[in-house]
Structure 1
Amino acid sequence: MSAPLNRRTFLRATTIAGGTTAFSGALWHQAFAGPAQPGPGPYGPLLAADGNGLRLPKGFTGRVVARSMQRVPGTRHTWHPAPDGGACFRDGDGWVYVSNSEVPLVGGASAVRFAADGTVNSAYRILNATTLNCAGGATPWGTWLSCEEHDYGLVYETDPMGNRAARAHPAMGRFKHEAAACDPERQVVYLTEDQPNGCLYRFRPTTWGDLSEGALEVLLGTDTGPVRWAQVPNPRLWITPIRDQVPGAMRFNGGEGCYYAGGICYFTTKGDNRVWAYDAAAERLDLTYDDDLVTNGEPPLTGVDNITGAFSGDLYIAEDGADMEINLITPDGTVTPFLRVLGHDESEITGPAFSPDGTRLYFSSQRGKSGFAAGTDGYTYEVAGPFRR
């Protein structure tokens, strides 16, 4: 008797046959009718590693901006351990890159301020005395949402410039937060949950721009296709976990990064190596990438984690372990490596974010070359070059 089909074989078969068991056509940018497939990237192959162990395409250069437990060059500020989620904010002619610290009790977040020419001007703390600050998201009004990744975790709203004290927002739910992405059209914030049976949430503030009060909702559905939302009854204080309070809540295997652009909320799930696309106007869920649905060679993207996007519409997805790559997915449905970090085999790539002008990409290797769990060997990088627009 022949062996039963495993999940990858089954999904590939339905894809090749044009079936709709796994999905009914990805909506990502309305550009292609199935999850992304491997192919040549817009920047060509990766070159040999530079002096920092970065393999980059031709025309791109990299540098180390900060090292955990060491002073940021040109400042008196010591960079935090285990750098994780990050974002960039405009600051006059320059910009600020913020980064979370995914360690217990003293996690918080820090920032590096850059001049217009990329010179580091200063570095400083923007959040203290919080725990396991994993990912987060930028708001349209210029704040950074730093998310705690534990069962009673909170979302903290911080000032990237370091002028205003951070504020906790219990109304956004107490759960194992991962990332956040703001949708200014519908005036909601999408939130991922890092649990093997976690959910996707959205927060509807009473007043857009003020996250202190509002309604937390959870996505309902069974698969790709039409979905809907329902309000969580007890998001602040609970005996029953938030993800179990609403019957029919859709389950996701380890929610990670979250990014919103052009009416679509993209989010990743590490347990099944997927990049999802939620069409907010149509209230429909589809797949942008699934390593089990790769029909053209081996999947280049595994260990999916943090996600961001470029002016061009390309998505950039960081890997947790795997090949220590940042892969990009183009609007025409090609997935391909953009960079690789060598010699950091026990680490993960975190915090990808573009400078406001789109010419520089920041990210970190959370545990660096040592792989030490406390993250005291973390590296934060900058890659500059001809990113397409």
Structure 2
Amino acid sequence: MAELDRRTLLRGGAAAGGALIGGPFLGFVNRSSASGSHPPSHSLALGPIPDLRDGKVRLWLPEGFQYRSFHDTESPVTLDDGTALPGRHDGMGAFRGRGGRYVLVRNHEVNNPGPAFGDATRAYDPMAQGGTTTVEVTRYGEVTRSYTSCNGTMMNCSGGRMPWGSWVTCEETVNGPDVGPDFTGASNVPLTRPHGFVFEVPADGRSSGEPITAAGRFAHESVAYDPNGGYLYLTEDNFGWPSGFYRYKPRRHPRSAGRLDNRGRLQMLKVRKRSNVDLAAAQPRRATYKVEWVDIDDPAPSFPYTPGQTAPTANDTALTHVARQGWAQGAAYFSRLEGSAYDDGVVYFTATQGGGPAETSLGPIADGYGNGSGQIWAYHTRSATLQLLYESPGPDVLDFPDNVTTSPRGTLVVCEDNVDDNYLRGLTRSGHLFDIALNRLTSGTGADRSNDEFAGSTFSPDGHTLFVNIQASRGMTFAIWGPWRRIGV
């Protein structure tokens, strides 16, 4: 427990942030520079808790919490429709189901060309291995039904839950037969269609299999929907280059249409009256910016190629095609934008490597654009104001925040993605970080898997259960429940 206590003490609120101007985090205060600061009242001791599935300890949690894991692909799992469940469980949304059960729509972030899982005749691209699966579960993580809901896509990273009953899944790639190899070096020639889009997946059925191309072809990470303005706010995780924060406005308001149309306008965030502001660099306390939005005129590019032959367009060129249109108009630079969540007029989103010294070039940068340990931003939709909510002072405090969700009481739940111990963290309204869960996985052979990242955190609609994934080739999903109110979640 010594390491946990040390991290919690260091984490006593070390942040670069300030009082928010509205939304659930009203009253956030900076506590980073106060010498001799005390640990937050939320500091929680985590301890080993056995998995109700088989009694094995996979998580450390606060006292009074329980969990059950399911769809553990360390051993083969077959869905009800006969699909062999892929791994790489990533972003996920929870919906109300039948008889008090919940429905989870879950991404699988599988890259590289290969046969699609599930029914290949219904796949967007029969030579792409990613997609989504839908799982019906009880509030205690007992699976009652499961099936393929979107297939033939690639690198399905995160996404967003839509209030009319859909999950929007995001492809974190621009691979396609018209684009050269990505960071893996694998040829894209076997692919049959371009990738880099978002797809709508109904919670009670299958995706149509056709992307919302007007929402852009870039390295999509997540989506947060503003029901008042009707905008989808989109994050981009372009690893080696600056990333953008976008919004997509369908022509018809989705709440009335009950779906997304493909005839809208894509825009990119720009700091008002300033061009190409580097928001990936360390920010001052209470960093606040008025913003505007610039139009992207070519959101879904295709590139020349001859089928069956190596594409002439380099992957880096394709990755930045959309962003460069925004940069030319002064759009802001972020570092690796990942998870996002909407709550009461505010879109919260993470910048995984933000908060360090400024980069000296636009990329490509081998270890990722951004030299910090992570930032959490808040965009106030009504006032068009961007504010830094939290900036990690170092990896011992918060290391690479990724997926994020909000609890029914407004606490942010942050998934950590680093190469050491990975935590689920809470960020309170008063600006304190605290631990919710610690990964203590081992493989069937006893190998340490504690550096496997958490992903896809999402609360059940009634707030009883937090579902979260382990994003690894041998992925799994957890259902966690307990006295959330007592620990401030």
Structure 2 residue aligned with 1:220: 270
Number of the residue aligned with 1:324 = 422
| Structure 2 contact 59–437 (Cα < 8 Å) conserved | yes
Within 2, Cα distance between the matches of 1:81 and 1:276?
A: 30
Q: Which amino acid aligns with 1:251?
A: Y
1:198 corresponds in structure 2 to: 243
CA distance in 1: counterparts of 2:338 and 2:141, whole angstroms: 29
Distance 1:75 1:354 in 2: 26
Q: Percent same amino acid at aligned positions?
A: 30
- 1:255 lines up with 2:329 in the alignment: no
1:38 and 1:148 map into 2 onto residues whose CA distance is 42
- Residue number in structure 2 paired with 1:364: 469
Q: How far 1:201 sits from its partner (Å)?
A: 0.2
For 2:18 and 2:459, the matched residues in 1 are separated by: 32
User: Radius of gyration: which is bigger?
Assistant: 2
Question: Which residue of 2 is the match for residue 11 of structure 1?
Answer: none
The Cα shift of 1:75 comes to 9.0
Counterparts of 1:108 and 1:61 in 2: how far apart (Å)?
A: 29
Q: Which one has a larger percent strand, Structure 1 or Structure 2?
A: 1
Structure 1 residue 25: deviation in Å? 4.1
Q: How far apart, CA to CA, are the structure 2 residues paired with 1:156 and 1:218?
A: 20
1:83 to partner: Cα distance? 0.6
Question: Superposed, which structure 2 residues align to 1:1-389 within 5 Å?
Answer: 25-27=19-21, 29-34=25-30, 39-40=39-40, 42=42, 44-50=44-50, 51-68=56-73, 70-71=76-77, 78-92=84-98, 93-104=100-111, 105-115=128-138, 119-151=142-174, 152-163=195-206, 165-195=208-238, 196-209=241-254, 210-221=260-271, 222=277, 224-237=288-301, 241-246=321-326, 247-272=329-354, 273-292=374-393, 299-321=396-418, 322-343=420-441, 344-367=449-472, 375=473, 377-388=474-485
Unaligned runs of 5+ in 2: 1-13, 51-55, 112-127, 175-194, 255-259, 272-276, 280-287, 303-317, 355-373, 442-448
State which drifts further: 229-238 or 278-287: 229-238
Residue by residue, what CA displacement relative to the aligned partner does 1:16-68 show, whole Å, maximum 9, x if unpaired? Answer: 9xxxxx76644462222338899436483212343332100011101112112
Cα distance change of structure 1 residues 114 and 41 upon mapping to structure 2, 3 Å threshold = farther
Q: 1:164 to 1:129 in 2, by over 3 A?
A: closer
Is the 8 Å Cα contact of residues 198 and 243 (structure 1) preserved in structure 2?
Answer: yes
Tell me, in whole angstroms, the C-alpha distance in 2 between the residues paired with 1:161 and 1:241.
35
Q: CA deviation at 1:382?
A: 1.0
Structure 1 pair 157–364 and aligned structure 2 pair: CA distance change class (3 A): same
2:337 is matched by which residue type in structure 1? G
Distance 1:117 1:325, change over 3 A: closer
Find the aligned partners of 1:41 and 1:358 in 2 and give their Cα distance.
Answer: 23
Question: Given that residues 89 and 95 in structure 1 are in contact (C-alpha distance below 8 angstroms), is that contact kept between their aligned partners in structure 2?
Answer: yes
**Contact 2:130–2:153 (CA under 8 A) maintained in structure 1:** yes
Aligned counterparts of 2:139 and 2:427: Cα–Cα separation in 1: 29
Do the aligned residues in 2 keep the contact of 1:35 with 1:287 (CA within 8 Å)? no
Matches of 1:227 and 1:300, distance apart in 2: 29
Distance in 2 separating the partners of 1:38 and 1:255: 31
Q: Give the whole-Å Cα distance in 1 for the aligned partners of 2:79 and 2:38.
A: 39
Relative distance call for 1:359 and 1:41 in structure 2 (3 A) is farther
How much has 1:300 moved relative to structure 2?
3.0
* TM-score with structure 1 setting the length: 0.85
Considering only aligned residues, what root-mean-square deviation do their CA atoms show, in Å? Answer: 2.5
2:102 corresponds to which letter in structure 1?
A: W
Change (3 A) 1:190 1:41: farther
Q: Which 10-residue stretch deviates more, 99-108 or 215-224?
A: 215-224
Which secondary structure does the structure 2 equivalent of 1:217 belong to?
strand
Moved more, 352-361 or 49-58: 49-58
For residues 381 and 38 of structure 1, the distance between their equivalents in structure 2, rounded to whole angstroms, comes to 32
User: Counterpart of 2:455 in 1: which secondary structure?
Assistant: strand
Q: SS where residue 207 of structure 1 aligns? A: coil
User: Structure 1 residues 387, 166: CA separation in 2 closer, same or farther (over 3 Å shift)?
Assistant: farther
Distance 2:398 2:78 in 1: 31
Query: CA contact under 8 A between 1:178 and 1:257: conserved in structure 2?
Result: yes
- Whether the aligned pair in 1 keeps the contact of 2:136 and 2:146 (CA below 8 Å) is yes
* CA apart distance, 1:74: 9.0
Amino acid at match of 1:311: P
State the distance in 2 between where 1:324 and 1:24 align. Answer: 27
Whole-angstrom CA distance in 2 between matches of 1:276 and 1:285 = 7
Distance, in Å, in 1 between the alignment partners of 2:376 and 2:437 is 19
The count of residues paired between Structure 1 and Structure 2 equals: 358
3-state DSSP of counterpart to 1:220: strand
Unmatched 5+ residue regions in structure 1?
1-14, 17-21, 368-374
Is the CA contact 1:145–1:157 (under 8 Å) kept in the aligned structure 2?
yes
Task: Note the C-alpha offset of 1:164.
Answer: 5.5
**Cα separation, 2, equivalents of 1:124 and 1:111:** 5
CA contact (8 A) 1:193 1:199 kept: yes
Aligned residue for 2:44, secondary structure, equals coil
Cα offset, 1:72, TM superposition: 6.3
Change (3 A) 1:160 1:251: same
Tell me if structure 2 keeps the 8 A contact 1:63–1:383.
yes
Q: TM-score, with normalisation over the residues of structure 2?
A: 0.68
Contact 1:24 1:225 in 2 (8 A): no
- Secondary structure (helix, strand or coil) at the match of 1:357 reads coil
CA shift digits 1:336-373 (9 cap, x unpaired) = 11110114234211110111111111111112xxxxxx
